[in-house]
Amino acid sequence: MRSLAVMLFGHFLVCISTFVLLVGASRQQVPLSQHEQHQATANRTVSPQLFADLEELSRIVDISYCVGDLGLGIQKPFSCASRCKDFENFELVKTWNTGPLLSDSCGYIALSHSPSTPRVIVAFRGTYSISNTIADLTTVPQEYVPYPGGDAPDAPKCANCTVHMGFYTSWRHTRAVILPDVLAALAAHRDYALVLVGHSLGGAVAALAGLELLAAGHAPTVTTFGEPRVGNAALAAYIDGRFGVGSAAADDDDDMPRYRRVTHADDPIPHLPPAELCYAPHGAEIFIAKKDLPPEIGDVVRCVGDADPACSSRRSWWTRFKLWQLFFAHRDYFWRLGLCIPDITPGVEWDGWSEIDLRL
């Protein structure tokens, strides 16, 4: 219980820092106009295939919370106290934890073997500790230089791009630990797709990892849940261009896009850091409009552009919710994410403890 208390205290610091930044970001929130209301009805629901893919990936990224100083771990071939039993055809390659002095990045690499879809999966854990909170708040922008840089023919320069220093630092520490294993897995399984998935801070790291692996000649599919803003408008446009997302035409044409930035009703994190600090969202947004779990396929819509006013950008959440409600909104993506215990859904009991007991 002591470790649980430490973890929840870290979550509380996240909520406090989020609230301070929301005061500035809330100035951008305006009521829906008639035009925006028309856009809301025109938004496209996702296909059954994409809905099923996102739901599965939410469980896959939830397992990453078993990794870290407070997690219970993942054991080979693929077992844990969370949802590992849902993936009988998975094989654990490795877990990583860079530690609190190196941005506390955590996650795992796994192989998904047939009859499941053959994939090399890299799952990036979200904010979980005080050191993650510090990384989240290191909002000072720095120049973004694509890796491997100008020498790579498939890596165009990102003119005037800046990136969140904390997120970029977290990725730099992570890449040294995981890149050799990811490349070795891809070399050994050449017919396997590369899938990156992250929640919260892990979503920002997954975005930067996706850009780097794309520049290195691979074809990653990136899915993020509650991803914060990674950099400025130039970087947002760069991500859109590299993954072929963001425009209405691109969003219309691809039923299974290469980038999926999943947001949730009332989640404040996709709006942080705010525009006042020169941060901007990129495209590929998929919006879960339903507040309560679980969402149905009709509750999940494809959005247009980088900041569709009919999607997550429409809400003025901070004026209507308490901090703990905003915190839950950041966790409720198909399932309630963030604790390495099985089947966490509101109202479900686990070993005599109710879900509300464990989280408050």
Active site residues: 200, 267, 330
Instruction: Yes or no: say if 108 and 182 are a contact pair by the CB < 8 Å rule.
Output: no
CA atoms within 13 A on the CB side of 163: 22
Distance CA 103, CA 126 (A): 11
Q: Cα-flanking dihedrals φ and ψ of residue 172, to 5°?
A: -60, -40
Instruction: State how far the Cα of 45 lies from the Cα of 149, in Å rounded to an integer.
Output: 38
Distance CA 48, CA 26 (A): 34
106-112 and 119-124 beta bridge pairing: antiparallel
Phi-psi bin for 250: left (phi > 0), alpha (psi -120 to 50), beta?
alpha
Q: Is the distance from CB of 164 to CB of 204 less than 8 angstroms?
A: yes
Distance between CA atoms of 44 and 51, rounded to whole angstroms?
12
CA distance 143 to 32: 35
Residue 68, judged by CB atoms within 10 A of its CB (0-12, 13-18, 19+), counts as buried
Report yes or no: 107 and 124 within 8 Å, Cβ to Cβ: yes
Helix (H, G, I), strand (E, B) or coil at 239: helix
Q: Minimal CA–CA distance to 274: which of 14, 13, 24, 18?
A: 24
Residue appearing with tokens 């850009």: 211
Residues in the chain, total: 360
- Environment class of residue 347 by beta-carbon count within 10 Å: exposed (0-12), middle (13-18) or buried (19+)? exposed
